[in-house]
Amino acid sequence: MPKFLFADHVLDTDCRELSRGDLRVPVEPQVFDVLEYLLEHRGRVVSKDDLIEAVWRGRIVSDSTLTSRINAARKAIGDSGSDQKLIRTVPRKGFRFVGAVVASKTRFEDAAPLAAAEVPPQPSELPLPDRPAIAVLPFTNMSDDPEQDYFSDGMSEDLITALSKLRWFFVIARNSTFTYKGRPVHICEVARELGVRYVVEGSVRKNGDQLRISVQLNDASTGGHIWAERYDRNLAGVFAVQDEITESIVAAIEPQLYAAENFRAQSKPPGSLDAWELVMRALSHFWRITRQDNVVAQALLEKAIATDPQYGQALGLLATSHIFGAHMGWADIGVAVPIAQRAALAAVEADPEDAWAHLGLAYTYLFARRFDDSIAAFELALRLNPNFAFAQAFYGAALCYSGRWQEGDRAARRALRLSPRPPAATMYYGIAGHAQFIGRNYDEAIRLARESLRQRADFPGGHRVLTAAAGMAGYRDIAKAALLELRRAQPTISLAWIANELPMRRDTDSEHYLEGFRRAGLT
């Protein structure tokens, strides 16, 4: 496959990378495909139908989606709709790549360079990509021992690798960020040179067997700190410590990035929001865990999908929100499953590498009682993003509903380690409590349910576990009070709802759960 050299860029079709000089320019997969097709067919005008057939394999694509990809391609290579120095729009015909191009199957160091007059000077500031871009600077070794550089460098490299699994964020490669090692630089300078909005920096300090790692996430557009944390660990098992802290940092950074993007979206007029910003707004409502917010999230996701019908994350989140609403007792499962299944299958088809797409499918399969398919889809979502706490927790729920409560308990507790703060932890404690109920460990189930409700007093899942566990344990007063609160949180609760709506693979588990509610006084 050839590589293309144009202006000051290289498009490598083997590695699927676009670079400018020594810097990698982040581009979405479809934007890369658009650029590649335009470069390969630079000798002629490419019609919209040509692009749709080549990039979307003939699927129905709106004009706005195609236009957004062309605009993103122009932005990635320093062009614009007004300049059109490289990608020209031919009215009523299509598009043509008009810049000078060298194509080669060899390294470009061996290829004849373009004439100097044909190569514009490299700009000092890279344009921001359509999606949030983040750079991880080399962690500073604050110890006296220079040998500890290996650990601080390893932390930075592991963090870059782990963040790269969050496919909706552009993560700058190690080779670019490590050029700043040992140099005193301002985050705004880094952001300009690498074309990012967010910068992670940190330090490692070793004192005897004790290790302290400090990390902060910065918004270069404002110069402010978004999040900061300190981790103190004993150095025994250095690689295990490194892995644990990397997981913790990634799990903490991801929701902070989503929150920061939502804050930016809130400052814009509603009619000007693009698909990404609509999804950020939807996520902010989804995480509030209320019936009304779930409805608002679905409306925002429908708008995002209308803007970009091939948006895998939006489709996956839409499927998840419909099943979650039914799981909480806010919606009818018979209505939710077909809607969710259509969205989830479309999500996986649109973007088979997106963890949210497979989460939506896994959750839908669970409530369609396709237990083995559900577990397989959850495991695929977690392979795509091992630090996806929500998927980890509801994988635990699927295991519990399948009768594998010990594995479900481990999955829920791993989710709690990844995301120990509310509102997410509210759900994760509830799932861990349900696992303990299935295992007949009623006191532990009650403890976990109470912790869930301490964080969110209106969470139906926590009330259900507390009611059933107290009923089975014979704590009549606790069970009676818990049932009263459950009815406030979920007015539709009944024995028939539990028997018909919750997907229990084993009849013994279903009967056990129902018996706990009967003893609490539910009819």
Confidence class of residue 104 from pLDDT cuts 50, 70 and 90?
low
Asked whether residue 444 carries a pLDDT value surpassing 90, the answer given is: yes
Contact 128, 72 (CB under 8 A): no
pLDDT at 115: 39
Of 19-28, 297-306, 450-459, minimum mean pLDDT range: 19-28
CB under 8 A, 24+ apart: contacts of 178-182: 178/138, 178/153, 179/22, 180/137, 180/138, 181/138, 181/153, 182/138
Q: For 182, what's the count of Cα atoms within 13 Å in the CB-facing half-sphere? A: 3
CA distances for 240 relative to 178, 232, 236, 317, angstroms = 24, 14, 8, 33
- Average pLDDT of the residues in 118-122: 40
Question: What mean pLDDT is predicted for residues 494-514?
Answer: 96
Give the residue among 195, 186, 179, 188 at the shortest CA–CA distance from 220. Answer: 188
Say whether pLDDT at 113 is over 50.
Answer: no
Alpha-carbon distance of 406 to 386, in angstroms, equals: 20
Residue with more model confidence, 458 or 107: 458
Peptide bond into 423 cis (omega under 30): yes
Measured CA distances, 512 to 283, 401, 438, 478 (Å): 35, 12, 8, 18
> Which pLDDT does position 322 carry in this prediction?
98
Whole-angstrom distance, CA of residue 86 vs CA of residue 97: 6
pLDDT 10s digits, 277-322 = 888 889 888 988 999 999 999 999 999 999 889 889 899 999 999 9
Contact call for residues 126 and 194 (beta carbons, < 8 A): yes
Q: What angle do CA 519, 522, 523 make, to 5 degrees?
A: 115
Q: What is the mean pLDDT of the chain?
A: 85
pLDDT at 118 over 70: no
Per-residue pLDDT tens digits for 183-234: 777 888 888 888 888 899 888 888 777 888 888 888 887 777 788 888 888 8
- Most confident stretch, 164-168, 255-259, 380-384, 396-400: 396-400
CA–CA dist 343, 158 (Å, integer): 34
**How far apart are alpha carbons 450 and 417 in whole angstroms?**
18
pLDDT of residue 439: 97
What residue ranges define each of the domains in the chain, with the CATH number in brackets? Answer: 3-118 (1.10.10.10), 133-264 (3.40.50.10610), 403-523 (1.25.40.10)
Name the least confident of 21-35, 249-263, 367-381: 249-263
DSSP3 helix / strand / coil % (the chain, rounded to 5): 60, 15, 30
